[in-house]
Amino acid sequence: MKPILPGIATWSWFSEEKQINFNGHLLDVGEHRILVDPPLLPDSDLAQLRTAGQVDYILLTNRDHVRETTTYKETLKTRVYVPEKDAPEMPVTPDKTFVDGELLPGGIWVVQLSGQKSPGESALFIDQGRGILLVGDALLGKPEGSVTMLPAEKYADPAAAREGLRRLLKYRFDSLLVGDGASILTGAKAVVERALN
């Protein structure tokens, strides 16, 4: 696990099948410690995480990013929040579901995105500093320094999916933290805008 921004650390697990890094993020925001879309953590990092203080929440951005949540919910004795529209299709029992526009602990806003692979696909927006946006399957960080959408066959309507992603451009963000691929720590909004135009 490595720090990437003030109060934010990340770790990755490489998927041989997808040939891309699956990323998790640890947020220390406000009074809360929060994991987002957690993939497998090395044992040493998990031990360090447990001794550093209570993890209050695990937030999931979509139905396909459960990853190691079931294990960590039990191991870390934490609460799990998931998108309401995806909850019925998830193999984890959430402590709470969230909806578009909801303010989550730590000052994290839910931005639900229409037309995506899953009906509950949500970005998480932190309006601190220059603005931070976390996405699950909404955008992939590849190649490094750029973003792309999922393959067209993943969507019922790729054009509608692209249009749904344009909602992200209404937010003021400098950093884009992705669940898959390489995150962009500065200048991210311009990169997203180029990708969607």
The arithmetic mean of pLDDT across residues 107-134, rounded, is 96
Res 162: pLDDT = 97
Which CATH class, in words, describes the domain spanning 2-196?
A: alpha beta
pLDDT above 90 (res 30): no
Given a contact cutoff of 8 angstroms between Cβ atoms, the answer to whether 10 and 183 are in contact is yes
Q: What is the mean pLDDT of the chain?
A: 96
The arithmetic mean of pLDDT across residues 124-152, rounded, is 95
Bridge partners of 98, per DSSP, are 83
Residue owning tokens 């410690």 = 33
What is the DSSP track for 99-148?
A: -TTPEETTTEEEEE-TTSSSTT-EEEEE-STT-EEEESSS-BB-STT--B
63-113 pLDDT tens trace? 999 999 999 999 999 999 999 999 999 999 999 999 999 999 999 999 999
CA distance 50 to 44: 10
Beta-carbon contacts of residue 43 (< 8 Å; ≥ 6 apart)? none
- Per domain, the residue ranges of the chain are 2-196
User: Is the backbone peptide bond immediately before 38 cis, with ω within 30 degrees of 0?
Assistant: no
% pLDDT > 70, the chain:
100
